Copies of this chain bind each other. A is one copy, B any other.
């Protein structure tokens, strides 16, 4: 617990040592988990103010409005914080192609970990 108050009504997001908070993204239509992204304080503020999902791209080191180039924007229906306010859960309606993943898939979680003769492998669903 960062602030010791899991019952608080005070909105006080806790950022990591890179100034980021992870955001789990759910498809509001079916409740499925489609991606995990990261927000800095600005991305979270813009997400709240505009209702459009904004993230921080760790690879490009820049603010990123989801779908700005692809058209696959995310309209936020609901934002929740977890008990210690160091994770965000977004419920979104996906516009454009209705996909969250940069591979063009609905969800980034399209591979299951399975056993292989040498250990583990990924199986595309």
Using a CB–CB cutoff of 8 Å, the interface residues on chain A facing chain B are 1, 6-11, 22, 24, 26, 31-33, 35-36, 48, 59, 78-84, 87, 89, 101-103, 105, 108-113, 119-125
B-chain residues with CB within 8 Å of residue A103 when the two chains form the complex = 6-7, 83
A121 and B22 within 8 A (CB)? no
A29 nearest CB across to chain B (Å):
13
A36, B103: Cα distance in complex, Å = 24
Contact pick for A112, options B31, B79, B120, CB 8 Å = B79
* Known contacts A24-B36, A33-B89, A109 near B82 by CB under 8 Å: yes
B31 and A82 within 8 A (CB)? no
